[in-house]
Amino acid sequence: MLLNNNMLEKVLLDTNVLLRLILKDNNQQLKEIIKILEQAESGKINLYCKSISIFEIVFVLSGKMYQTAKSEIVEILKTMLNISVINFEESKELSLALDIFLDYSISAVDSFLIANCILNKQDFFSFDTKANKIYKQVTKK
């Protein structure tokens, strides 16, 4: 999977790949994922994941089909963020967002925006009074 002799291939993982890894509901696809993870461990490829995939996982796991508790979703995603061979876009923001998401009654997206503001030393402006209130609570800690 090398592009050329001097450059490692960058592989963007789709949300469905991460979901198969979490759910382990398709043995054939799980075997393929393990092979890709092994290639990354051996340095043959670099794996990446966009932040949007984390929100999609929250949406899927919390939906009607899986009805996973928020605390379990956060635990699953925190574990996933610690997979050393996958480079998660904005991993620090995602980690803090998961803490906020767990501790407050707020959407994953709003918790990410608040985490982003905190870590990047930005203020937060929203017409969502609940999100504004939580932002003020979090930043007073």
Give the per-residue SS3 of 43-95: CCEEEEECHHHHHHHHHHHHCCCCCCCHHHHHHHHHHHHCCCCEEECCHHHHH
Q: Is-contact 60 19, C-beta < 8 A? A: yes
Q: Which two tokens stand for residue 138?
A: 């979090």
Q: What is the pLDDT along the chain (141 residues), one digit of tens a residue?
A: 444 455 679 999 999 999 999 999 999 999 999 999 999 999 999 999 999 999 999 999 999 999 999 999 999 999 999 999 999 999 999 999 999 999 999 999 999 999 999 999 999 999 999 999 999 999 985
Question: Scanning the structure block, which residue is given the tokens 């870590």?
Answer: 119
What's residue 106's pLDDT? 96
Alpha carbon distance 60, 134 (integer Å): 24
- How high is the pLDDT of residue 7? 61
Q: Any idea where the domains of the chain sit in the sequence?
A: 8-89, 90-141
28, 65 contact by CB (below 8 A): no
pTM of the model: 0.89
Task: Supply the pLDDT for residue 1.
Answer: 41
Q: How far is CA 21 from CA 28, 30, 80, in A?
A: 11, 6, 9
